[in-house]
Amino acid sequence: MKYADGTEVRLGERVRIGNGDIGIVVVSIDTNEFNLHYCAED
């Protein structure tokens, strides 16, 4: 996944989504990276 400017979204980054909510990236399907508390099966 990429930001609007083309920069890659990285695991652990704080992001703001369209309605203003803020979250932390815990999974990147594109790069097959997962936070220690999440796995592909989840």
pLDDT for the residue 26: 92
This prediction's pTM: 0.71
Count of alpha carbons within 13 angstroms of residue 29, beta-carbon side: 3
C-beta pairs of 29-36 under 8 Å, 24+ apart in sequence: 29/1, 30/1, 35/11
pLDDT in tens, 1-42: 888 899 999 999 999 888 899 999 999 888 889 988 887 777
Domain boundaries, the chain: 1-42
- At 40 the pLDDT is 76
